Amino acid sequence: MAANLLEFDLEGLAAFCETLGEKRFRSVQLFRWIHQRGEAEFARMTDLAKSFRDKLAQHATVKVPEVLSQHLSRDGTVKWLFDVGSGNAIETVFIPEEDRGTLCISSQAGCAVGCRFCSTGHQGFSRNLTTAEILGQLWFAEHFMRRHLGRADRVVTNVVMMGMGEPLQNYDLLLPALRVMLSDHAYGLSRRRLTVSTSGVVPMIDRLARDCPVALAVSLHAPEDGLRDRLVPLNRKYPIHELLDACLRYLPGAPRDFITFEYCMLDGVNDHPDQAHRLLRLLRDHGGRGVPAKINLIPFNPFPASGLRRSPAARVQAFAAALNNGGIVTTVRKTRGDDIDAACGQLAGDVQDRTGVRVRMARSRSALQLLDTGRNT
């Protein structure tokens, strides 16, 4: 069976080239063709030896999941739904801003953590995405957007692992994908512009610190264990003090000198002014000297099965003001792509309910074809 070259970081690609009887250094050229130029056809990699191209054509592919649908929002946000087989779809969202382009990437089909307020969590866990499926989202989005916008320079400047799934519960397959994102021969993202978001898998936070320190976002959502146990069931295994200890261990080698804490604002659940003050005290006092932090409040994106409501805007503003006044920089996440349901936590589950597997399969389109016609879509 042909190897999908999107499975490999540069080290892995070099080893693969060796199995084809090629010198390791040839892999750098190949790696650049794939990631910097978005080329999937070996025949078009004109500066590789013909014999090498022939071997690649026989033993390798560059393959991303089929695109089930593509939605372009009025505000420039683009959302793709990819078919990862067995009725599972995953979602990727591109969010353009004046000075950057952020891609939100999925790491699993479904999620085993089962947070109360998350539609991915409500779907349950299907499977881990492969490295190629994780990296393929960036490969496809970057090169599609370049063609679509008629640009030659980099479009995706920031990546956030905030799509479907818990990235740190798919650690081994995530790691090579992160390495390719950071590689100067590929996407060349800086460590500060690559963010892993986690619900708090403590041992894996430590491993990430050792293997590949990037920006860390922690989904906190509650200032005390009782409430967090209910909202983020993983808290029963790794309670808040252990999670904050892991954050303190993470910071010395991290590219940023603070942890971003995400806090989803749920009406009448975690948005009381007292809870803002408890959150302040928690982050200011933990471990004696506190945890250097920024807080990102996310207005809850409701879905029917959750039985929860979004906090009113005034309460979100008051909560943010209390935290800012207390000395922790706090922002409220803007909702983008509202017209195409591209907001956090509204991912593929929805589509599955509406259209069913068979219809979605019928609509599936080859990602490579889409890439070729990117300019016209």
Site for ligand SF4, rule CB under 6 A: 111, 113-115, 118, 120-121, 164-166, 199, 219
CA-closest candidate to residue 105, choices 34, 154, 177? 177
Query: 64 contacts which partner out of ligand SAH, ligand SF4, none, CB within 5 to 8 A by kind?
Result: none
The option from ligand SAH, ligand SF4, none interacting with 114 (CB < 5 to 8 A, set by class) reads ligand SF4
Q: Does 199 bind ligand SAH (CB under 6 A)?
A: yes
Shortest separation between residue 104's beta carbon and ligand SAH, angstroms: 8
Residues 339-358 that bind ligand SAH (CB under 6 A): 344-345
User: Minimum distance between the CB of residue 355 and ligand SAH, rounded to whole angstroms?
Assistant: 20
**Is 117 one of the binding residues for ligand SAH (CB under 6 A)?**
yes
Ranked by CB distance to ligand SAH, the top (closest) residue is 345
Which CB, 56 or 159, lies closer to ligand SAH? 159
Binding range to ligand SAH, per CB under 6 A, among 127-135, 174-182, 196-204, 322-330: 196-204
C-beta closer to ligand SAH: residue 130 or 183: 130
* Tokens (6 digits) for 276: 């803002």
Which residue number is nearest to ligand SF4 in terms of Cβ? 121
Q: Which is closer to ligand SF4, CB of 45 or CB of 202?
A: 202
Q: How far is the CB of 150 from ligand SF4 (least distance, A)?
A: 34
Q: Which of 7, 22, 66, 91 is catalytic?
A: 91
254 binds, among ligand SF4, ligand SAH, none (CB under 5 to 8 A by kind): none
If DSSP states are collapsed to H, E and C, what string results for the chain? CCEEHHHCCHHHHHHHHHHCCCCCCHHHHHHHHHHCCCCCCHHHCCCCCHHHHHHHHHHEECCCCEEEEEEECCCCCEEEEEECCCCCEEEEEEEEECCEEEEECCCEEECCCCCCCCHHHHHCEEEECCHHHHHHHHHHHHHHHHHHHCCCCCCCCEEEECCCCCHHHCHHHHHHHHHHHHCCCCCCCCHHHEEEEECCCHHHHHHHHHHCCCEEEEECCCCCHHHHHHHCHHHHCCCHHHHHHHHHHHHHHCCCCCEEEEEEEECCCCCCHHHHHHHHHHHHHCCCCCCCEEEEEEECCCCHHHCCCECCHHHHHHHHHHHHHCCCCEEECCCCCHHHCCCCCCCCHHHHHHHHHHHHHHHCECHHHHHHCHHHC
**Cβ-based neighbour number of residue 167 at 10 Å:** 28
CB of 149 to ligand SF4, least distance (A): 29
Residue environment code for 181-205, b if the CB has 16+ CB neighbours within 10 A, otherwise e? bbbebbbebebebbbbbbbbbbebb
Choose the contact partner of 349 out of ligand SF4, ligand SAH, none; CB within 5 to 8 A by kind: none
Using the rule CB under 6 A, is 171 a contact of ligand SAH? no
**Minimum distance from residue 111 beta carbon to ligand SAH (Å):** 6
Q: Per-residue x/- marks for ligand SAH, 128-167, CB under 6 A?
A: ----------------------------------x---x-
Q: Which stretch binds ligand SAH (CB under 6 A): 88-96, 192-200, 236-244, 334-342?
A: 192-200
Using CB under 6 A as the binding rule, whether residue 271 contacts ligand SAH is answered as no
Catalytic, 344? Answer yes
Closest CA to 291 of 263, 257, 332: 257
Site string for ligand SAH, 300-319 (x = CB under 6 A): xx------------------
Reading phi first (left if > 0) and then psi (alpha if -120 to 50, else beta), residue 294 is in beta
Q: How far is the CB of 122 from ligand SAH (least distance, A)?
A: 9
Catalytic residue annotation: 91, 344
Residues at the contact surface with ligand SAH, assessed by CB under 6 A: 117-118, 162, 166, 197-199, 219, 262, 264, 298, 300-301, 344-345
